[in-house]
A and B are shown apart, each in its own frame.
Chain A
Amino acid sequence: MPISILHFSDLHLGTSFSESRLPPEIGRRCRESLRNTFVEILRIARERNADAVTIAGDLFENERVPPATLKFLAEQFARLAPKPIFIAPGLCDHAGPHSAYRQRRWPPNVHVFLNNTLSDRSLSSEYELWGAARLHDKDQENVLEGFVVPSSGKIPILLLHAYVAPPAVEETNQPSPNRSDTLTLDGIAHSGFSAALIGRQHERFTVANSKCTIVCSGSPQPLGFDDTGEYGAAWIVLSPGSEALVEWLPLKSESTKGLDFKIIDIVVDREKSAATLIDTLTQALRYQSLRDSIVRARLTGSASPAINIDAKTLSAEIEHHCAYLDIENQTPPAASRLETITRVGKEPTVRGAFVREMIAQRSAESASQKLHQEALLYGIEAFEQENIVLR
């Protein structure tokens, strides 16, 4: 009899968006969206009457999860009862001695694998679920090494937080050199599992052969500008004797708004003034309908000397066209001033001598080029304007 499983992982409830350099108020909105995503996932599980929900780790982050979130999780899990929920703790929510998985009481329908050795739970009369936990945040033990599922008459399914070589790497059948815990399709199949529900990588993918299917659900939502691609949860239908059916469920809804990270590239070569640059940026945001997105605008090319690119000023001008705008100015720092520098460098003045000296030093010390370039600009500004603007 087929069973249906709603599988997801790496939700990272309560995570910090400091790597994306988001301010706290935006980060708060993102975290709220993550909570809403979690609620949405469980709503779908109820709506589709899933036989089980599996979570392959990193549901939350031990270091950051407040008790209120744990309480929220317990309440949401309890609402799904009696549907079973299986959790294989990952690196961020590892099942160490002080883990919330050990310290809190979870609803009876929640089954957490608390050991770092594989153990089994019954899924149905025909399927059993094997899982293991990560016990600390650097746990890279390959739990499948030398493991073969004992014969019990049931079809074994693996639930684990581990790195799985993505399809591109899988084809070469070479594990990633720096990951001792990398699982391969053959390795999982060799251990006797017919399917593996995996979490850890934020990108989703499936790998399958005639013996086994690996479903790496990825993050239900992107967690930063580095997370590109598509996100959601996996709806898996397992039938004895047939290949697993995987359906990717998008989790876009009104309640999960605010977790759309976008990067737009703007070439500023043609922009003649700051106003035209603002217009270009605004049009790009409107054209891509990024009003509810967190946007990083990468400015590339050589800016006209007439444009003084100030990220804060630009963000302030355009931020109402998106949820949050982060300007990443990748134009050469002194490009806008190159002409001035060239011109000044020819002067028989102290200023000109300074420019020549700085250029000479910059070329001599490539390691500190950026520092010298900044010093050069500050020196010129010291002559040109009363107030030196810090970059």
Chain B
Amino acid sequence: MRIIELTLHGAQGEQRFAFPAGLHIIHEADEKLRTRYLNGLIAILYGQPEVLSRSIEPVRQAHLEPSERLTRSKRKKPLARKNKSEQSATNERFEGTLLLALDDGRKFQLRRSVAETTNTLQIFDAQAGKDVTAEHQHGQDFAERHLSLNRAVFVAAARLQADEFQLFVEAEEEVLADALSKVLDSANDKTSIHTAIQRIDRKLAEIGTVYSHGSLLANACARRDDLQQKRLAYVAAQRANSDDQAEADELKAEINIMQTRLSILEHEAISLELASTRARLARYDDCRRHVEKIVAEQAALAEFKEFPIGMKENFFQLYHELTHLEKLQELLNDEQNNLNLKLIALAERTNSTGIDASIWQFRSFEDFYALRTQWQTTFEQILALETAKHEADAALDAAGLDAADRTALATLDLNRLEILKKRETAIKAQEREVEKLRMAYDDFQKRTQSYRRAGALVALAVLVAITIGLFYLEGEISRAKVWGGVLPLLLSIGGLLLFLFLNYRWLLRSRQLASDLLLSEKAFMDNHEKLREILGRFKVQNLGELIRQRMLFMEIGSASQEHAKRAEELSRTERLLSIWMEPLDLDHIAMETLVAAEKRLRESYHLWQEKRSARHHVQRITEQLKEAQENRERVAADIEKTLAAARISSPPGEASFQAYVQACHKREYLETLQSQAQQIEELAKEILRGQTREQLVEEINRMENSVRRFAEPRLAGEFAETRTAANIRERIEKLEKELAEKRQALAVNQERMRLRDQAQISVAEIEEALAIAEDEIARLHASQQALQLARNNLLTVKHHVHHDFARRATAVINRHIAQITNGRVSSARFDPADFSLHLAVKQDAVKLTDAGSINPAARRNIYLLLRLNMPTLMAESRESIPLLIEAPLRDDDLSQNAYISRVLESVAAQQQVLVFAENEKAALSFQQKTGMMRERKVAGKV
């Protein structure tokens, strides 16, 4: 398409602009007017700017991404201008005409008229001169049909703003690729597919999953789970409350039953108390009646009131004593009679013994018995002494001792015996000495005898040796002879001399021993002879025998003396015994007579003792009888006094006693009556317990009323076993205790339910919140699915669109690459993945950025070439699209100019390029900078 002429109608009048083919620079002193041309072109083609576009713009401004901030400051001003101009265009009335020619040669004139409420487009076939508006859908789709670009794409692709052009002069490959991508992806210079995907990913991440912490979905699920937990907790609490409620109901029922039981028990207790009180009243009345009866009986026994009951004990004691004394007298009399009879019998037995019993008044049977024992003992001693004397005498006679010897024995006193004992001891010592010396002598002789024999043999041998040696030594004495003859000879001589010396010594010793033996034997024999002479005189063998004989002799003497003394004693005893024996007609004293006397005396003495005892007994009984009689008279007198005091006239006796006893009984009965009356009075007081009878009756009435108030019928047999008040009271206390426990359990239960109810919110509220949470989760899930679907589709279409675009872009670049790079690059390939360029430099395919031989400005120009071809590349109709470039260069980088000029020329050969300079100066500057030396036609007012 080529724009031929633009006519704008407005307040400023009609303005017409003619546009030639190829590159054309437009400048205007007023910047607003330049913008007016641009907007006028777009407005005629596509109508007024859309409201939606305006509404979206602020949002975009608010959410610029970091990568987009690179150009933000540069874009700020033009955007502001653009918005301002579009706003003014919207508000103002607009009318314009555009003459254009399509690539196929057709020409159309478009007439656009925009008012506040109308927006009309008239389309005329410029060649045929007819209105073809009807062929288009109300004239709205002319541009889209013939250019196959809608307004947004046309503006984004065909209109290069100042900063965008500048971008392709300055920026790196990645930025340029991104800029291309944004136009291709979204028909604007702000959002690429990559950014869109990132936004979706960010949102997906924001939604997250159930398990991603802090995400919307996780939060919603957590909220839902929390609510579900609360609901479960509520249900559990409700169940617990339900259980507790059931328990509470059971407790209440139990409490009611227990209260009923308690009431029954109390009823029972009051009933029992009533019965007890009634019984008390009855007992009290009985007591009163009993007292009255007692008073009547007391009146009947009034005469015994003064009876001396205090003397009762004394009277009974006296009566008992009197009875006792009477019985005692009877016993004593009987005993006295028996003793008298016994005395008579004893007297008869005494006479039969023939012994005058009077002797026992001065003597004692023990005296006789002592004398008799003494006589017997002395007699036996005399007999023993005579036997000993006879035996000693017989022993001496047997030893051969005559009278002279016995006289000598009488002279042998103890001193001499002692001397003899010492001599005998010395003789025995001498005998042992002699024996010892003899043994020494004999031993020496025996010991030296063999030595002497051996010495004699040695001496003989020596003598023989000497003799032989002397013969041997005759002649010359050689050395051998000295050792074999002389030396033995000398040794033999030495030995002989030694033998001789020893023999001499032995002889001297033998002689000494013999001398000592002889001396000792002599002394021993002398003393031994003397002792033998003395022993021989007494005809004994040794001194011990002599001593025994002397002892026998001494024993005979002493026995004779003792015999004499005992005989005298016996005689004295017999004289005393004869006093006892003679009255018994026993004329001599011997063992037989003494035994007979003893028997008779013993019997007589026994009878005498028994008679004496009986007499003493009789005497004592007589005294007792006398005393009993005195006591009886005294007791009888006392009894009479007592009876008189009791006004009983009968004399002491059984009758008076019985009368007294009866009186006592009546008196005591009277006292008993009094005591009974007193006890009954006390019992009555106790029954009343401090109350009066009237009060008791009143209490009974009150309790009867209470019992009547218990309307509930008593449970039959319920407390059959609890009939006593204590039992009932115990049951009541137990029941009250259980009741208190139940009430406490009920209170705890209710408090637990109350706390549980307080702790939780209503399940309805939970369900309402839960429904909202579940809605939120469903909404998030739906959004997540939709976002995921959008993402997948975006990636798919991106792949297709980018590959298709890359293919066509590669073809375009290859048409111009040699010219742009002065033949250094033979071909290029546009990568759809990242919009990078792969260039073939001398048959090597390398990336542009890696090709060091390629000027960076040339690289940028290749991208600029691509950018300038974007409208044509994007137009599916393949119609060439005019380029509208705003204020392309604003700096002084002249090094870029030649390349830019070359690119623009290359593009302008294929399509119309309109450069809108800011003013004339800028237009000239652009011409100079780009090296466009050809004269350019500058538009002007018509």
Task: Please report A residues at the B interface, Cβ cutoff 8 Å.
Answer: 14-19, 21-24, 27-28, 31, 63-64, 66-68, 98, 103-105, 305-306, 339-340, 343-344, 346-354, 357-358, 361, 370-372, 374-379, 382-388, 390-391
Give every chain A residue within 8 A of B766 (Cβ-Cβ).
24
CB pair A348 B779 closer than 8 Å: no
CB pair A390 B780 closer than 8 Å: yes
Give every chain B residue within 8 A of A385 (Cβ-Cβ).
56, 59-60, 63
| Complex partner residue of B798 from A63, A344, A350, A386, CB under 8 angstroms | A350
Q: How far is the CB of B193 from chain A (nearest CB, A)?
A: 5
| Complex partner residue of B802 from A98, A105, A350, A372, CB under 8 angstroms | A350
CB pair A351 B60 closer than 8 Å: no
CB pair B797 A357 closer than 8 Å: yes
- 1/0 contact string of B798-836 vs chain A (CB within 8 Å): 101110000000000000000000000000000000000
In the complex, the chain B residue whose C-beta lies closest to that of A68 is B757
B186 interface residue per 8 A CB criterion: yes
**Given A340-B52, A386-B65, A391-B779, do A349 and B874 touch, yes or no (CB 8 Å)?**
yes
**Given A16-B763, A348-B875, A384-B59, do A67 and B757 touch, yes or no (CB 8 Å)?**
yes
26 CB contacts below 8 A, A to B, read: A14-B763, A16-B771, A27-B768, A66-B757, A98-B242, A103-B249, A104-B245, A346-B150, A348-B148, A349-B874, A350-B185, A351-B186, A351-B196, A357-B793, A358-B793, A361-B793, A370-B782, A371-B785, A371-B786, A372-B789, A374-B783, A375-B787, A378-B787, A379-B794, A386-B65, A390-B783
Give every chain B residue within 8 A of A382 (Cβ-Cβ).
196-197, 199-200, 790, 794
A18 to B762, CA, bound (A): 13
Residue with the greatest number of chain A CB neighbours at <10 A, chosen from B62, B762, B766: B762
A378 to B789, CA, bound (A): 9
B765 interface residue per 8 A CB criterion: yes
A352 to B56, CA, bound (A): 17
In the complex, the chain A residue whose C-beta lies closest to that of B874 is A348
B746 interface residue per 8 A CB criterion: no
In the complex, the chain B residue whose C-beta lies closest to that of A305 is B52
Q: How far is the CB of B444 from chain A (nearest CB, A)?
A: 145
Give every chain A residue within 8 A of B153 (Cβ-Cβ).
347-349
User: From residue 193 to 235 of chain B, which have CB atoms closer than 8 A to chain A?
Assistant: 193, 196-197, 199-200, 203, 207, 216, 235
Give every chain A residue within 8 A of B65 (Cβ-Cβ).
386
Q: How far is the CB of A345 from chain B (nearest CB, A)?
A: 10
**Given A351-B185, A383-B196, A385-B56, do A63 and B772 touch, yes or no (CB 8 Å)?**
no
- 1/0 contact string of B569-607 vs chain A (CB within 8 Å): 000000000000000000000000000000000000000
Residue with the greatest number of chain A CB neighbours at <10 A, chosen from B196, B241, B753, B768: B768
**Given A350-B798, A354-B797, do A376 and B771 touch, yes or no (CB 8 Å)?**
no
B639 interface residue per 8 A CB criterion: no
Q: How far is the CB of B212 from chain A (nearest CB, A)?
A: 16
Give every chain B residue within 8 A of A379 (Cβ-Cβ).
196, 200, 790, 793-794
A361 to B789, CA, bound (A): 11
A233 to B191, CA, bound (A): 64
CB pair B762 A64 closer than 8 Å: yes
Give every chain B residue within 8 A of A21 (Cβ-Cβ).
771-772, 775
Q: How far is the CB of A25 from chain B (nearest CB, A)?
A: 8
Q: How far is the CB of A300 from chain B (nearest CB, A)?
A: 21
A376 to B875, CA, bound (A): 24
**Given A18-B770, A98-B242, A379-B793, do A374 and B786 touch, yes or no (CB 8 Å)?**
yes
Give every chain B residue within 8 A of A14 (Cβ-Cβ).
762-764
In the complex, the chain B residue whose C-beta lies closest to that of A361 is B793
Give every chain B residue within 8 A of A371 (Cβ-Cβ).
782, 785-786, 789
CB pair B771 A347 closer than 8 Å: no
**Given A349-B874, A350-B794, A357-B793, do A16 and B768 touch, yes or no (CB 8 Å)?**
yes
B698 interface residue per 8 A CB criterion: no
CB pair A384 B191 closer than 8 Å: yes
Give every chain A residue within 8 A of B787 (Cβ-Cβ).
375, 378, 388
Give every chain A residue within 8 A of B55 (Cβ-Cβ).
306
| Complex partner residue of B790 from A17, A339, A376, CB under 8 angstroms | A376
Give every chain B residue within 8 A of A66 (Cβ-Cβ).
238, 757, 762-763
Q: How far is the CB of B770 from chain A (nearest CB, A)?
A: 7
In the complex, the chain B residue whose C-beta lies closest to that of A391 is B783
B342 interface residue per 8 A CB criterion: no
Q: How far is the CB of A367 from chain B (nearest CB, A)?
A: 13
CB pair B874 A388 closer than 8 Å: no
B251 interface residue per 8 A CB criterion: no
Give every chain A residue within 8 A of B183 (Cβ-Cβ).
349
Give every chain B residue within 8 A of A351 (Cβ-Cβ).
185-187, 193, 196
A391 to B52, CA, bound (A): 20
Q: A14-B762, A349-B801, A391-B779 are in contact. List 20 more A-B contacts (CB 8 A).
A: A18-B771, A24-B765, A27-B768, A31-B764, A63-B763, A64-B762, A103-B246, A340-B52, A349-B187, A350-B185, A351-B196, A357-B797, A371-B782, A375-B790, A375-B793, A378-B787, A382-B196, A383-B191, A386-B199, A390-B780
CB pair B753 A383 closer than 8 Å: no
Give every chain A residue within 8 A of B615 (Cβ-Cβ).
none
B252 interface residue per 8 A CB criterion: yes
Q: How far is the CB of B188 from chain A (nearest CB, A)?
A: 8
A349 to B196, CA, bound (A): 13
A230 to B134, CA, bound (A): 59
In the complex, the chain A residue whose C-beta lies closest to that of B758 is A68
B411 interface residue per 8 A CB criterion: no
Residue with the greatest number of chain B CB neighbours at <10 A, chosen from A16, A104, A344: A16
B382 interface residue per 8 A CB criterion: no
Q: How far is the CB of A13 from chain B (nearest CB, A)?
A: 10
Q: How far is the CB of A46 from chain B (nearest CB, A)?
A: 28
**Given A19-B771, A24-B768, do A354 and B59 touch, yes or no (CB 8 Å)?**
no
CB pair B186 A349 closer than 8 Å: yes
In the complex, the chain A residue whose C-beta lies closest to that of B216 is A390
For the complex of A and B, list the 10 residue pairs with the smallest distance between their C-beta atoms, beginning with the closest. Answer: A386-B63, A18-B771, A374-B786, A379-B790, A16-B764, A24-B765, A382-B196, A375-B789, A16-B767, A353-B797
A229 to B801, CA, bound (A): 59
**Given A68-B757, A378-B790, do A23 and B769 touch, yes or no (CB 8 Å)?**
yes
In the complex, the chain A residue whose C-beta lies closest to that of B237 is A66
Residue with the greatest number of chain B CB neighbours at <10 A, chosen from A15, A344, A350, A375: A350
Give every chain A residue within 8 A of B148 (Cβ-Cβ).
348
Give every chain A residue within 8 A of B245 (Cβ-Cβ).
67, 103-104
CB pair B794 A388 closer than 8 Å: no
In the complex, the chain B residue whose C-beta lies closest to that of A19 is B771
Q: How far is the CB of B252 from chain A (nearest CB, A)?
A: 7
A354 to B193, CA, bound (A): 10
Give every chain B residue within 8 A of A377 (Cβ-Cβ).
786
A390 to B775, CA, bound (A): 13
CB pair B249 A24 closer than 8 Å: no
A16 to B765, CA, bound (A): 7
A14 to B761, CA, bound (A): 12
A346 to B141, CA, bound (A): 11
Give every chain B residue within 8 A of A67 (Cβ-Cβ).
241, 245, 753, 757
A390 to B787, CA, bound (A): 10
In the complex, the chain B residue whose C-beta lies closest to that of A69 is B762
In the complex, the chain B residue whose C-beta lies closest to that of A382 is B196
Q: How far is the CB of B81 from chain A (nearest CB, A)?
A: 22
Residue with the greatest number of chain A CB neighbours at <10 A, chosen from B193, B200, B757, B797: B797
Give every chain B residue within 8 A of A340 (Cβ-Cβ).
52
A350 to B188, CA, bound (A): 11
| Complex partner residue of B152 from A98, A339, A343, A354, CB under 8 angstroms | A343
Give every chain B residue within 8 A of A370 (Cβ-Cβ).
782
CB pair A28 B186 closer than 8 Å: no
B149 interface residue per 8 A CB criterion: yes
A331 to B160, CA, bound (A): 40
**Given A378-B200, A384-B56, A385-B60, do A348 and B149 touch, yes or no (CB 8 Å)?**
yes
A17 to B772, CA, bound (A): 11
Give every chain B residue within 8 A of A375 (Cβ-Cβ).
785-790, 793
| Complex partner residue of A347 from B187, B779, B785, B802, CB under 8 angstroms | B187
